[in-house]
Structure 1
Amino acid sequence: MNKVAIIGLGYVGLPLAVEFGKILDTVGFDINRKRIDELKNGNDFTKEVNKNELVESEKLTFTYDTADIADATVYIITVPTPIDSHNNPDLTPLIKASEMIGKLLSKNDIVIYESTVFPGCTEEVCVPILELNSGLKFNIDFFCGYSPERINPGDKEHRLPSIKKVTSGSTVEIANKVDDLYKKIITAGTFKASSIKVAEAAKVIENSQRDLNIAFVNELAMIFDRVGIDTHEVLEAAGTKWNFLPFKPGLVGGHCIGVDPYYLTYKAESLGYNPQVILAGRRINDNMGMYVANKVIKLMSNKGNPISKSRILVLGITFKENCPDIRNSRVIDVIDELTDFGATIEVYDPEADKEEVKHEYKIELTETLNGTYNAIILAVGHNQFKNIDLKNLTDEKSVIYDVKAYLEPSTITARL
């Protein structure tokens, strides 16, 4: 393997490029020229890779020019695979990347996909595009593999090398080659799946399982709220049993958990099966933002707070704590619902990129906290929020609602 090209340098592609760049000639490609320029200067806005790690990856170069990856022998595609407004898979980035790589393919090249897809997508959607644009024959002139990404944004403990990697290939020989390739950088080891479809399916059920477990505790939270008991106290008590799973209620967003189940249900429905449990979990989780907003409104009303033109502070807009990733953040559901009630919303998030938030959600992040708020919602548990003195921002009528069970119970009005 003479040269590896990583297509897409986001949360998944960049760590991959850095690790391969330590041992193999590697080119990181992205269509975003600004992103390439920043990386060349040692800056990663995702905060997944620091400047020293970029320097240590001595065999890694960055480019937005396809001519620089034309001589690669292995292409690894890590572009986003989102959903559209109807919750159907949006394969546009994947299709465009496949068209681009198809035009560059040479005999015996290997194309490996890491993007989340439904079972069968690589061979049914991507391979025909590669064949059409290359003029080459699949499994004769070129080959494919699939190795699902398992990147956990913001997690400094579980990083790419320390997370076991599932691999697969379009033939037995290629499966071995793909597995051997990843073994060079994955210290935790690899698991070679029996087929590409099995590897694709493994990825979507990993996050579908987590989605369902969170949906279960979200439903418990709504039930226990009516009972009048604290959900987290119940979970703590139940957690004393050795096989109880430690999931907590919350807003389910991001590029994986809130998206992947729809790839599985899309495939199921295309085969004539109507999935019930998976979609039930999705409905619960998709409605949690509205539930949180309405709960806050009730608490404010009970304390005699005005609703219309009230001043509400939302702490955090990223999809999870201690990372700048705002993709598919469900905090926006809380904000939109409160705005519909006529409240004035201020959003504070030192982790998020101000311009990206403005572009994606049409929200101007506030940079200073002052005055008295009618309500404060802790939506994301960033470490920086530990230093905020909420007493200076509230009075006796203010509501403090903790979505993440992050704050001391004695300092808040209620928590999810």
Structure 2
Amino acid sequence: MNKKICIIGLGYVGLPLAHAFSKKYSVVGFDINKPRVDELNSGFDRTLELTETEVKESIENGMVYSTNMEDIKDCNVYIVTVPTPIDSSNRPDLTPLIKSSQTIGKVLKKDDIVIYESTVYPGVTEEVCVPQLELVSGMTFNKDFFCGYSPERINPGDKEHTVTKILKITAGSTPQIADVVDDLYKSIITAGTHKASSIKVAEAAKVIENTQRDVNIALINELALIFDTMNISTNDVIEAAATKWNFIKLKPGLVGGHCIGVDPYYLTHKAEELGYKPNLILGARQINNGMGKYIAEKTIKLMIKSGKIIKDSNILIMGLTFKENCPDIRNTKVVDIIKEIKDYGSNIDVYEPWIDEKDKDYYDYNFVENPFENSKKYDAIVVAVGHDKFKTITQEQYDSLIKDEKIIIDVKGIVPHPSWKL
């Protein structure tokens, strides 16, 4: 069949995917966020995953950005790329997936294919999403319509490993549909595809990618805490250990974002539901979630040691996004540092050049323009994100911002001579 593709959700995952598909297929990009759709139609992508030229190129290719259900009624492949967050109790929030499935159910037709890309625990596609599709459409799964799963592998801010250059896992609800889904992605993914044996296998493969990274980073973070008590440089230890060919070289740090800091909870939720306690994974989560508090406490201790008064002190936090050179602030763990320091009565200024000025109004922080061009002095500086722009700052510039004894906390290992480095 001639494929007309609808991408549901135009965020960090959906938009680059829609752009890639628009080069070969008729595509509709659907999102319930009207301001987002309006901006895309004007050529602007605030996630910065696509340039203005690329956004306009997709429109020139015939792609439609829309919030109108009428525009997606004649599509025959629906790809769901909505977020899968966690709630305040670290439980999976499947609301975006359920609502997207209900939306598709209203327009689902005979022989249509619905492909999910959102990261989930094994079983969500067939046990949660498919029943919604059946309920709303009145049709029968694997008889009237079919499903696939191809987990996203987008790396926000990475201009080298873009969507078409990352090998893609695919799966389908029947052997025939698995081939159709694989061929569809193979037509745009230059890096190739890997066809999984089932949708559940593909779901599991995705969720363990980030769980493995989370556990590995937690080990390095715990080692960093141990070495800190021994007054040993963690970086020096890692460099020495990395001389062995099979040592996995990772650096300690904050583990936030929409993937590594979230996805493991989907797996642990399902495991506990089935009666298994995933102690290692949950332990890793506890270690990584505690790093912000540890960094804040280290900052306060150094200030007290130097004789500085904590209450009403002024502290500069450099960076707020969850990773370097990216405007994505979802689940950033820098907020943990800020919250902890504020609890001591300190005043916080945030310098974050990657967040759009208009977006800063949405956050309850005191954002400052380039502090190195102002006269305000601080009692301490915490360099929390390794933006390239921060790497050009000299030690003299840092020193000029601090009054009395210099206290510079370096979370990312980019300050020439910090007071303390993670």
Deviation at 1:354, TM superposition (A): 4.3
Give the match for residue 108 of structure 1: 111
Distance 2:138 2:151 in 1: 27
Does 2:148 align with 1:140? no
Deviations 1:127-182 (A, max 9, x none): 00000000110000000000000000011111101100000000000000000000
Length-normalised TM-score, structure 2? 0.96
TM-score normalized by the length of structure 1: 0.97
Q: Distance in 1 between matches of 2:221 and 2:405?
A: 27
The 10-residue stretch of structure 1 (382-391 or 240-249) with the greater mean CA deviation from structure 2: 382-391
After superposition, the C-alpha distances for 1:194-249 in whole angstroms (9 at most, x for unaligned) are 00000000011000000001100110010000111110110010011101101110
Task: Note if 1:40 corresponds to 2:41.
Answer: yes
Q: Deviations over 1:87-129 (max 9, x none)?
A: 0000111111000001110000000000011100000000000
Matched, 1:56 2:64: no
Deviation at 1:358, TM superposition (A): 4.3
- CA distance in structure 2 between the aligned counterparts of 1:146 and 1:268, rounded to whole angstroms: 21
Alignment of structure 1 residues 3-402 onto 2, 5 Å = 3-57=4-58, 58-359=61-362, 361-369=363-371, 370=374, 371-388=376-393, 389-402=397-410
Structure 1 residue 267, shift from structure 2 partner: 0.5
- Alignment partner of 1:414 is 2:420: yes
Q: For the Cα contact (< 8 Å) 1:22–1:60, is it kept in 2?
A: no
Q: Give the unaligned 5+ runs of structure 2.
A: none
Distance 1:159 1:24 in 2: 19
| Paired amino acid for 2:298 | K
Q: Once superposed, what is the RMSD of the aligned Cα atoms?
A: 1.1
**CA distance 1:328–1:358, change in 2 (3 Å):** farther
How far 1:367 sits from its partner (Å)? 1.8
Give the conservation status (yes or no) of the 8 Å contact 2:150–2:202: yes
Q: Distance in 2 between matches of 1:289 and 1:54?
A: 36
Secondary structure in 2 aligned to 1:96?
helix
Is the Cα–Cα contact under 8 Å of residues 5 and 75 in structure 1 kept in the other structure? Answer: yes
Compute the displacement of 1:56 (Å).
2.7
Report the equivalent of 2:411: 403
Unaligned regions of 5+ residues in structure 1, if any?
A: none
Contact in 2 for aligned 1:7/1:76 (Cα 8 Å): yes
Aligned residues: 413
Give me the whole-angstrom Cα distance separating, in 2, the residues matched to 1:230 and 1:354: 38
Check the 8 A contact 1:22/1:59 in 2, yes or no.
no
Find the aligned partners of 1:209 and 1:184 in 2 and give their Cα distance: 30
Alpha-carbon distance in 1 for matches of 2:409, 2:124: 42
Aligned-pair distance for 1:396?
4.6
Determine helix, strand or coil for the equivalent of 2:172. coil
Distance 2:204 2:357 in 1: 36
Instruction: Report the identity percentage.
Output: 61
